[in-house]
A and B are shown apart, each in its own frame.
Chain A
């Protein structure tokens, strides 16, 4: 454990909890805390424990019953299956490409929204729309856009003579996966853009003035002032988006249902299929824990990055 972490631990009792523990004020505190304790236990801790317990058994039905104990068998089974690793790879690709695109496009869009021009308020409100759409609606909309027979994308591209004739977008595995990436990027870029916009507005203007006085051009200013000062925000976007993207499920369910040929079956979708379609709840529970493990790894890596990235003006 590094020093920062140790310091954090030591600081905790002083800053978070009052001296003498949480129940210093006696029964009143307990009564006031009880509702949230019940909720946290009911919807967080109990399912967490229960899912782990389930993952140790060969549970093959949603009903209670006596199922054989298999220990870590479900986990080993997952690690030994090619579908599992294929799903992990696909998920990694999805996560990397969506996160990267969302960050890059988010920065560009954020910079645009930060410039003063007439009608900026209108653009700002329009840009937030995709993010405000429920994912299911977004998925259904993209299914329509990508429809091979009457989709808007086909119409647009053929009328611009970019493609000679209507084509299928979700009919082959690799193309389908990329189209899901496009749909996700379209929806989530505004979020990144608004994080960036918020960060841009906190950068003091005199920094830029000083740079101009020193004769720095626009590009130079961007790379030497703007970008470095955006790093903490970018890391936060990375953290949020990788974790979200890694457990992507709903947009896949709506757009492709994991197909064609499992080409868009991400790890969360695979877990769902095994648990609910094949009624292998034990195996599904183990997969859910594996996902949690991966995300925990991301969390640890990113938190270290974040700690390093703190900036003071």
Chain B
């Protein structure tokens, strides 16, 4: 091989380098000094949304069209990514200021705000407005007493069950405790109604943390004590994981749960291959839609089942925020105001319920989801937050891995949570 080929080889390495991380570096150089700007309240906006759960892409497009009709000076370009890609997309696009508004999950404002990636909108978002929003939902975009966005999707994980299958197994009324769920699952399995009565979204993703948080709440656990020390490896936190593992060991839960996301779980329920699951609001409409589901009309929604310590739902809300790189923050704010307005949210309540308290007594909203609204009205007042920490993703990733190690049988629940607690404490200190 000649020297020129060696040189070539080296050049190939460099290109690989560039692709892997150099992009971030280049971004830094090209865009250093690019600050945000208010703009004139008109122009073009780029908005980032997710294409999964809550409002459908079509809903978001229709809302945006309505907005553009009302504001002829503003054009909005929409981008949709899956939830799993959303965080990293926001991070990678931040230095370039690609997006004016981004959809942020309840677990990110601490990170994004502390790194000044999204702007403080407390002054634009007066107390008079805030007080009209469901209290648990308002926490979604709050960090350190300031607001970094407006809640838009108000959601938690509800308990869905197939009433026909439960009937066939002689389970009546439907279970409202986790012990009851296990009994029902045993009945479903022993009577041969369904091979795996339960399906969960326990893939290595945020989804597993949502389910875990909800169970941890039911068993009275806590993520951290008041000194910030991990406590999820004891008491309710441990019981929650032991419960999860037990349902797999008894083959009540589908073993594919460890590779399942929320939308996969919805499909399994919709095919009639599971009888019970936790999922977000949007599943109700889709699982009962004959075009999307083979069990339309059989799926009912209820509060998350009770554990010994109650039945809090995980706060899975998301909000719309303005990026600090936006050159058009006034127009972006107008857009956010429109998208989060009560009028629009009431109109599109079918897949995602409004953030506004009074909407839950609104005829239009109740008509859209008559079975869901009464359940949501009380469940949304009983929410549990996942840890509010700036290194959330790191903490969450550690926990995802350890939870999965317990679920796939590589570690005992106690061992997995002890290891997670140790690693999380190290992360939080660094």
Contact = CB atoms under 8 A, between A and B. Distances in A.
A220 B223 CA distance: 67
A176 interface: yes
Contact of A51 (B25, B84, B394): B25
Nearest to A148: B256
Contact of B26 (A46, A168, A275, A291): A46
Nearest to B95: A62
A16 interface: yes
Contact of B17 (A16, A292, A303): A292
Contacts of A42: 26
Contacts of A60: 115
A172 B25 contact: no
B15 A303 contact: no
Interface in B193-221: 195, 203-205
Given A46-B29, A167-B255, A260-B204, A296 B111 contact: no
A43 interface: yes
A42 B1 CA distance: 28
A299 B18 contact: no
Contacts of B404: 173, 259-262
A171 B259 contact: yes
A28 interface: no
Given A271-B21, A278-B397, A291-B20, A48 B204 contact: no
A303 B408 contact: no
A158 interface: no
Interface string B173-208: 000000000000000000000010000000111000
A16 B4 contact: yes
Interface in B231-257: 254-257
A51 B408 contact: no
B273 A48 contact: no
Given A43-B18, A50-B29, A259-B400, A279 B258 contact: no
Interface string A280-313: 1100110011011001100100010011000000
Interface stretch (B85-93, B298-306, B380-388): B85-93
A277 B1 contact: no
Nearest to B199: A149
A231 interface: no
A46 to B, nearest CB: 7
Given A260-B258, A278-B391, A54 B25 contact: yes
The CB with the most chain B CB atoms within 10 A, among A8, A45, A63, is that of: A63
A121 interface: no
A29 B25 CA distance: 31
B58 to A, nearest CB: 22
A171 B257 contact: yes
B259 A62 contact: no
B258 A303 contact: no
Contacts of B264: 149
Given A8-B2, A262-B401, A64 B32 contact: yes
Contacts of B267: 149
A173 B408 contact: yes
Nearest to B84: A257
Contact of B256 (A53, A171, A243, A296): A171
B362 to A, nearest CB: 37
Nearest to B255: A168
Given A260-B204, A261-B401, A275 B24 contact: yes
A45 B10 CA distance: 11
Contacts of B29: 46, 50
Nearest to B115: A61
Interface residues of A, number: 68
Contact of A149 (B26, B33, B258, B273): B273
Nearest to B114: A61
The interface residues of chain B, by DSSP majority, are classed as helix
Contact of B3 (A11, A46, A262, A278): A11
B84 to A, nearest CB: 6
A149 B402 CA distance: 25
Contacts of B95: 62-64
Interface in B26-61: 26-29, 32-33
A247 B20 contact: yes
Contact of A170 (B11, B94, B259, B401): B259
B204 A275 contact: no
Contact of B24 (A268, A277, A281): A281
B358 to A, nearest CB: 38
A295 B203 CA distance: 31
A292 B16 contact: yes
Contacts of B27: 62
Contact of B405 (A44, A176, A261): A261
B17 A47 contact: yes
A258 B14 CA distance: 25
A62 to B, nearest CB: 5
Contacts of A148: 254-256, 259-260
B81 interface: no
B304 to A, nearest CB: 24
A53 B29 CA distance: 13
B22 interface: yes
A43 B21 contact: no
B131 interface: no
12 contacts: A8-B1, A44-B15, A47-B14, A48-B14, A62-B28, A247-B20, A259-B404, A261-B402, A261-B404, A261-B405, A279-B111, A306-B1
Given A171-B258, A260-B204, 18 more contacts: A8-B1, A45-B14, A47-B26, A54-B24, A61-B116, A63-B95, A148-B259, A148-B260, A149-B271, A170-B259, A171-B257, A171-B408, A260-B407, A260-B408, A272-B88, A277-B394, A289-B17, A292-B16
CB-based closest 4 A-B pairs: A259-B204, A47-B22, A148-B256, A50-B25
